[in-house]
């Protein structure tokens, strides 16, 4: 099942902070975060694994609550380059390693 | 290192024609994924391969779609016959291993008239 992302869109001024949430109705093994700029391919930001391990971007932080099956992406002191659509992809574990992506959160950072 | 390579980058065709999209994964990666992205449906996984073997094709819309991976460095997604509703951006992605980071290619923008 597709994870639910919130908010759908957010507009910030440069330097402001934002939080993007991702929740699933099923147990998760890992959550993957990607950013896509208009007309480009999704670019990997971070993986959060069950058990607390994280791999990814140094300037972006995220959390993964296994019990609540939720993840949040924290963008602090936003820059113009942060603009884009953020997707979370969830992996349910087992032997099937297919990611299911949310519909995305459109982030716009204005000067 | 070269990333995931896809060709063509753009394709315009007429309804009923056969379309073949191509993908070269990152060398050494053993998983390959085909996605379709539209405004209405978002990013959908069509099929994925592990060690050249199709693992999950439950996202393939219908029999008009087929995918092959004859070797570790090449995969194709074929649509025959194509329909206007197939118009979308098709991405190929590869990863080093199961559940690892997926690296996306630049995509093929397909327009079926």
Domains of chain A: residue spans and CATH: 4-110 (2.60.40.10)
Q: Considering only CB atoms, which chain A residues are within 8 Å of B56?
A: 96, 98
**A37-85 pLDDT, tens digit each:** 999 999 999 888 877 766 666 678 898 988 888 999 999 889 999 999 9
d(CA B22, CA B35): 13
A29, A55, A87 ranked by CB distance to B43: nearest: A87
User: Within A3-99, where are the H helices?
Assistant: none
B42, B91, B104 ranked by CB distance to A104: nearest: B42
Long-range interactions of B80-85: CB distance < 8 A, separation 24+: B80/B18, B80/B19, B81/B15, B81/B16, B81/B17, B81/B18, B82/B13, B82/B14, B82/B15, B82/B16, B82/B17, B82/B18, B82/B19, B82/B110, B82/B112, B83/B15, B83/B112, B84/B15, B84/B112, B84/B113, B85/B112
pLDDT of res. B72? 95
Residue B80, chain A, CB below 8 Å: the answer is no
A42, A97, A102 ranked by CB distance to B104: nearest: A42
pLDDT of res. A94? 64
Q: What are phi and psi of B86, to 5 degrees?
A: -85, -10
d(CA B10, CA B8): 5
- Averaged over A84-101, what is the pLDDT? 83
With residue A110 as reference, give the H or E element that holds it: strand A105-110
User: Closest approach of chain B CAs to the CA of A1, in angstroms?
Assistant: 12
Residue B94, chain A, CB below 8 Å: the answer is no
């Amino acid at each position: 099942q597709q994870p639910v992302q919130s908010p759908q869109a957010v507009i910030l001024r440069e330097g402001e902070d934002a939080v993007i949430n991702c929740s699933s109705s099923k147990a998760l093994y890992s959550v993957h975060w990607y950013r896509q700029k208009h007309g480009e391919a999704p670019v990997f930001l971070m993986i959060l694994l069950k058990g607390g391990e994280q791999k990814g971007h140094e300037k972006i932080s995220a959390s993964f609550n296994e019990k609540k099956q939720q993840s949040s992406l924290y963008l602090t002191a936003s820059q113009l380059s942060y603009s884009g659509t953020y997707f979370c992809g969830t992996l349910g574990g087992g032997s099937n390693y297919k990611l299911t992506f949310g519909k995305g959160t459109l982030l716009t950072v204005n000067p | 290192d070269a990333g995931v390579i896809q060709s063509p980058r753009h394709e315009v065709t007429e309804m009923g024609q056969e379309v073949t999209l191509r993908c070269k994964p990152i060398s050494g990666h053993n998983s390959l994924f085909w996605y379709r992205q539209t405004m209405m449906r978002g990013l959908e996984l069509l099929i994925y391969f592990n060690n050249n073997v199709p693992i999950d094709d439950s996202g393939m819309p219908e029999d008009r779609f087929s995918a092959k991976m004859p070797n570790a460095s090449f995969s194709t997604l074929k649509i025959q016959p194509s329909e206007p509703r197939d118009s979308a951006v098709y991405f190929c992605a590869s990863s080093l291993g199961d559940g690892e980071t997926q690296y996306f290619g630049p995509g093929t923008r397909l327009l079926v008239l």
